[in-house]
Structure 1
Amino acid sequence: MAFYQQQPFYNPRIPFSGQIQGGLQDGKSIIISGRVLPGANRFHVNLQCGSHSGADIALHFNPRYESPGYVVHNTCQSRNWGSEERKYESPFPQGQTFTLQILVEQDKYKISTNGRHFMDYRHRVPYTQVDTVSVDGMVELNSIAFQNPAGYIAPQAGYQPQYAMPPGCGFPAYPSAPNYTIPYKTVINGGLYPGKNIVINGVINPNASRITFNLRYRSGIAFHYNPRFDEKVVVRNTNQMENWGPEERSGGLPFQKGQPFQVTISCNPHHYNVFVNGKQAHTYKHRFTMLHEIDILEICGDLQLSLVQA
């Protein structure tokens, strides 16, 4: 059974509560990107069984900025909290951007912070009962995105997720840290389809000239997204049969040298929407329309990567 890809929530206001369409499944990921406010004392992310007050909380992820800082993980059932699991580490510094990824597995959640495995949390409430994500506290959000493995099949006993991804891609290669070397290339498992989102987080080098994101198929580039700091423009184009088409250059340059970024490329039936730091930046009509044949993501140029969700 395949699941339709849910569109992200962009720039949600805090406190936030949103529905997880179709609930959770083994292999599904939730990717939350934002910034911890300067001087923050705490914030939390909850995976809940309902959106009403008093709903059971299957996973409570709660960074606390005391001395020393730590993160509390817990579950609340029938308004009663269970025993806390604490990790004395502060993965998200105050005033800094962050990415939190929660990967659902049969027996646990795998929690990743800024592209690195942080901890596992074993299920106390069946994940199949979870249908809501909520966020509150001293934090601001760029996006909450969702990712299903393409062609996902309901697991049977003894099932282990299989992902047609090369070594070093970072999803869901836990607990080893992902190897995001530039230039970077990875397989888009199952190709593109309407509703598919690709999420890329990183930092632009201080002396950046150009960066490139390519969505490739066998003999060409379906979508070439090319921020150029030397020209202060983002060039979009398609390469078919070794020939470039006409460039699209409108829309400005929504990136800054030396600053972190998040790019989300959302595939729609007739076009791509590109969001940068949670705001829609560009739209590009499909010139190569056999979306399922687009199965490679390439990233190169003057940047560092922290998380790629393809």
Structure 2
Amino acid sequence: MRKEKLDDGHLNNSLGSPVQADVYFPRLIVPFCGHIKGGMRPGKKVLVMGIVDLNPESFAISLTCGDSEDPPADVAIELKAVFTDRQLLRNSCISGERDEENLAFPYFPFVPDQPFRVEILCEHPRFRVFVDGHQLFDFYHRIQTLSAIDTIKINGDLQITKLG
């Protein structure tokens, strides 16, 4: 897959000021695969803004170590929204071995045909995941070399409106 940089190399943050683009992408088409410049590190944040489709079944946002399909790239964190049973699954997959999916959440934050904002903040021991400004969960690192986590993959029943 060819990866391109934004025309001027900058994105706008929520306050409208330019910030250096850390995620390069050709177009915001689902399924999407983009490169995270320099990989993850403590303090780095990945932002995904989008709109859930009108009749969604599910969608997933994954941070992976490369974009290899065969063998499949290690998945540092996968966030999967399943609308049929209103569950938010989170998982990782290292060397083909999936961990147990973590399920329990007090509420399901995604609504069909509505916009959302997911932020994945990398900290030293964990990822912190926020949806629409509310901290949803912590996910402790299973891949210790954070800089190897250099790809974002998004697929399913959504449209992407902004990445950063």
TM-score tier after normalising by the smaller chain length: 0.7 to 0.9
Larger Rg: 1
Give the match's secondary structure for 1:256.
coil
Structure 1: state its 5+ residue gaps.
Answer: 1-26, 33-99, 104-146, 151-163, 169-178
Q: SS in structure 1 opposite 2:13? A: strand
Question: Letter of the aligned partner of 1:250 in structure 2?
Answer: A
Distance in 2 of aligned mates of 1:215 and 1:30: 22
Report how far residue 290 of structure 1 moved: 1.1
Please tell me whether residue 200 in structure 1 is matched to residue 48 in structure 2: yes
Give a deviation string over 1:216-239, Cα, whole Å, max 9, x none.
014310101101111211101110
Q: What is the deviation of 1:305?
A: 0.8
- Tell me if 1:234 matches 2:88: yes
Is the partner of 2:147 in helix, strand or coil?
Answer: helix
Q: Provide the rounded CA distance (Å) in 2 between the counterparts of 1:295 and 1:204.
A: 25
Matched, 1:102 2:21: no
Structural RMSD (CA): 1.9
| Structure 1 letter corresponding to 2:64 | R
Structure 2 Cα separation of the partners of residues 305 and 165 of structure 1 = 14
CA distance in 2, matches of 1:221, 1:268: 17
- Aligned position for 2:78: 224
The letter of the residue matching 1:182 is: V
**Following the alignment from structure 2 to structure 1, what is the Cα–Cα distance between the partners of residues 37 and 57?**
30
Matched letter for residue 39 of structure 2? G
Greater relative CO (CA pairs within 8 A, separation 6+): 2
Identity of aligned residues (%): 27
Q: How far did 1:180 drift?
A: 1.0
TM superposition shift of 1:165: 3.2
Q: Partners in 2 of 1:238 and 1:181 — Cα distance?
A: 24
What is the one-letter code of the residue matched to 1:223?
A: I
SS at match of 2:24: coil
* Residue 101 of structure 1: how far off its partner (Å): 4.1
* Deviations, residues 27-69 of structure 1 (Å, cap 9, x unaligned): 775511xxxxxxxxxxxxxxxxxxxxxxxxxxxxxxxxxxxxx
2:104 alignment partner in structure 1: 250
Query: Given the alignment, which residue of 51, 58, 62 partners 1:214?
Result: 62
* Cα distance in structure 2, aligned partners of 1:239 and 1:101: 36
2:13 match: 31
Match of 2:4 in 1: none
Q: Could you say what secondary structure the match of 1:292 adopts?
A: helix
Match of 1:191 among 21, 35, 39: 39
Question: Residue type matched to 1:240 in 2?
Answer: I
Q: 1: CA distance between counterparts of 2:131 and 2:24? A: 25
Return the letter of the residue paired with 1:295. Answer: D
Normalised TM-score (structure 1)? 0.45
Q: TM-score if structure 2 supplies the norm length?
A: 0.84
Confirm or deny that 1:180 pairs with 2:28: yes
**Residue 271 of structure 1 corresponds to which residue in structure 2?**
126
Query: Structure 1 residue 149: deviation in Å?
Result: 5.3
Distance 1:307 1:29 in 2: 9
